[in-house]
């Protein structure tokens, strides 16, 4: 059975057997990498000789630490999933598209394309949700389709060729950290490159002679100087965007521009800049929804997999479907409304497990009073409670689907 990364339909490049994803064209990224690595190596190899001796050995150490941090942030931004929303299955597409109005010709004979917008109200503001025909899904409000990578990306910021990937919800904080750390590092390298030249010129009493003696310093200073303008500028721009809880894409489109549309509010704004910063940089991160390392279950099977745990392997769809279709009546007769007081030992076992499991359900499900009895209303931690119950179920039904669900819960 193929893994999901092998059947991935978009234009992104999947690397390391599904562990990394980036844009297909990485040539500008290699340029970025080369500039950073070569300048740093030149700085550490040549400038730091004099600086370590004259000033302090902590100068090259700090430079090395910053260099590693910048590289880590860059690689993390480039090779992580930016928040790609996996494409809809054909069944989903059929379901949704059957509800969309088809193309029509109105009274004047004008062609109207299929309607693919729907209005939703979010915190008092009307948003138009678009249906993405490529990805077969209703695009979430802040998502956008990247034509370079041919994916819908959640909280799409922009596609950055320098970094070689889209910048979206999942990798925005690494991108921002990269910008800030690179700004600081460029400044550091430029300042200490100049200090090195000054020290050298003091020793040689001639600035031009110093420059000839240490040409790599000149190169490093120039690279750092020209980089600073763009990197610091971009870093400042993104700081402002973060404080306003806007993405580059929304800023360009003027979605929340209050000067142009004074009555527009940003429904995602948390109120103040600091709260927005905390949420964007330290808030919860969605796991990658692509699940590249899992098996791609074929769509021919009637039941898609239910109990799949990526770490412990998957249930084959065939086994799942036969187990479910063959034995539901036998297995669940004792859980139906009228059959709650069965007498056999094994069924009693199952009843106990149902009652124990029900502790984790927040409230008694209305209309189902007899089956699910809540012992205490607070959501008790599921792990300790459920494993006892499902062991009973699993022991009783060893060769059916529930065995795999025990597998997953443990």
Residues 308-367 that bind another protein (CB under 8 A): 308, 324-325, 328, 331-332, 335-336, 354, 357-358, 360-363, 365-367
Q: Write the DSSP symbol of residue 327.
A: S
Phi, psi of 6 (to 5 degrees): -75, -25
Partnered with residue 295 across adjacent β-strands are 3
Kindly state whether residue 372 participates in binding another protein, applying the rule CB under 8 A.
yes
Give 35 or 264: the residue with its C-beta nearer to another protein. 264
Nearest to 251 by CA among 148, 155, 169: 155
Give me the long-range contacts of 376-381 (CB less than 8 A, separation at least 24). Answer: none
Hey, which residues are catalytic here? 160
In the bound state with another protein, the residue whose beta carbon lies nearer, of 201 and 266, is 266
Q: How far apart are CA 378 and CA 394, in angstroms?
A: 26
Q: Which of 27, 99, 110, 345 binds another protein (CB under 8 A)?
A: 99
Residues 123-152 that bind another protein (CB under 8 A): 123, 127, 129, 137-138, 140-142
Task: Determine if 409 is a binding residue for another protein (CB under 8 A).
Answer: yes
Shortest reach from residue 116's CB to another protein, in Å: 14
- Smallest distance from the beta carbon of 63 to another protein, in angstroms? 18
Q: Which stretch binds another protein (CB under 8 A): 181-189, 221-229, 236-244, 278-286?
A: 278-286
265 binds another protein (CB under 8 A): no
**Which residue is listed with tokens 């700090």?**
62
Contact 314, 305 (CB under 8 A): yes
217-256 positions binding another protein, by CB under 8 A: none
Interface with another protein (CB under 8 A), residue from 26, 96, 100, 374: 96
Q: Does 206 bind another protein (CB under 8 A)?
A: no
282 binds another protein (CB under 8 A): yes
Q: Closer to another protein by CB, 201 or 301: give it.
A: 301
Q: Which residue from 1, 306, 373, 395 is in contact with another protein, where contact means CB under 8 A?
A: 306
> How many angstroms separate the CA atoms of 376 and 357, rounded?
11
Confirm or reject binding of residue 278 to another protein (CB under 8 A).
Answer: yes
Residue with structure tokens 């084959």?
316
**Selected range binding another protein among 42-50, 82-90, 107-115, 216-224, rule: CB under 8 A:** 82-90
Cβ atoms of 250 and 260 closer than 8 Å: no
Closest approach of another protein to the CB of residue 111, in Å: 24
Site string for another protein, 378-397 (x = CB under 8 A): ----x---x------x----
CB 243 within 8 A of CB 268: no
Residue 16 vs 285, nearer CB to another protein: 285
Instruction: Give me the least distance between CB of 15 and another protein, in Å please.
Output: 19
| 285 lines the binding site for another protein (CB under 8 A) | yes
Q: Are 83 and 168 spatial neighbours (Cβ–Cβ below 8 Å)? A: yes
* DSSP code at position 314: -
Nearer to another protein, 104 or 202 (CB): 104
Q: In whole angstroms, what is the distance from residue 371 CA to residue 28 CA?
A: 62
The H or E element that residue 167 is part of is strand 165-167
DSSP 219-265: HHHHHHHHHHHHHHHHHHHHHHHHHTT--HHHHHHTTT-TTTSTT--
193 binds another protein (CB under 8 A): no
> What are the distances in angstroms from CA 193 to CA 59, 60, 236, 262, 322?
11, 12, 24, 48, 71
Q: Using the rule CB under 8 A, which residue among 239, 304, 316, 396 binds another protein?
A: 304
Task: Report in angstroms how near the CB of residue 289 gets to another protein at its nearest.
Answer: 4
- Using only C-alpha atoms, the chain has a radius of gyration, in whole angstroms, of 29
Total residues binding another protein (CB under 8 A) = 76
Q: Which residue's entry shows tokens 């094994």?
A: 346
The dihedral over CA atoms of 25, 28, 30, 32, expressed in degrees to the nearest 10, equals -150
């Amino acid at each position: 059975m193929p893994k999901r990364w092998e059947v991935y339909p978009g234009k992104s490049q999947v690397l390391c057997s599904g562990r990394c994803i980036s844009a297909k064209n990485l040539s500008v990224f290699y340029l970025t990498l080369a500039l950073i690595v070569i300048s740093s190596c030149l700085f550490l190899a040549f400038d730091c000789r004099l600086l370590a001796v004259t000033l302090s050995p902590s100068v090259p150490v700090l430079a090395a630490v910053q260099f590693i941090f910048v590289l880590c942030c860059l690689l993390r931004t480039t090779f992580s999933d930016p928040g790609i929303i996996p494409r809809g299955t054909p069944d989903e597409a059929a379901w949704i598209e059957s509800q969309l109005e088809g193309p029509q010709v109105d009274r004047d004979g004008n062609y109207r394309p299929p309607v693919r917008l729907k209005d939703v109200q979010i915190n008092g503001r009307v948003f138009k949700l678009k249906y993405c025909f490529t990805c077969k899904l209703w695009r979430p409000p802040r998502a956008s389709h990247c034509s370079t990578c041919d994916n819908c990306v959640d909280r799409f910021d922009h596609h950055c060729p320098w970094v070689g990937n889209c910048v979206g919800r999942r990798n925005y904080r690494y991108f921002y950290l990269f910008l800030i750390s690179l700004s600081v590092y460029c400044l550091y390298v430029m300042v200490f490159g100049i200090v090195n030249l000054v020290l050298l010129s003091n020793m040689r009493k001639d600035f031009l002679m110093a420059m000839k003696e240490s040409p790599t310093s000149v190169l490093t200073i120039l690279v750092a100087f020209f980089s600073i303008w763009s990197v610091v500028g971009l870093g400042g721009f993104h700081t402002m965007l973060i404080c306003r809880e806007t993405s580059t894409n929304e800023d360009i489109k003027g979605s929340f521009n209050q000067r142009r549309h004074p009555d527009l509010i940003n429904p995602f704004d948390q109120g103040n800049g600091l709260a927005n910063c905390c949420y964007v940089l330290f808030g919860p991160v969605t796991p990658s929804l692509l699940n590249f390392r899992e098996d791609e279950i074929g769509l021919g099977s009637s039941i898609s997999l239910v109990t799949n745990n990526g770490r412990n392997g998957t249930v084959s769809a065939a086994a799942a479907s036969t187990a479910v279709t063959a034995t539901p009546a036998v297995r669940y007769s004792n859980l139906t409304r009228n059959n709650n007081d069965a007498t056999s030992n094994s069924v009693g076992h199952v009843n106990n497990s149902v009652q124990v499991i029900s502790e984790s359900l927040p409230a008694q499900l209305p209309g189902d009073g007899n089956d699910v009895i809540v012992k205490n209303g607070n959501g008790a931690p599921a792990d300790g409670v459920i494993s006892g119950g499902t062991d009973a179920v699993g022991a009783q039904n060893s060769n059916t689907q529930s065995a795999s669900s025990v597998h997953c819960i443990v």
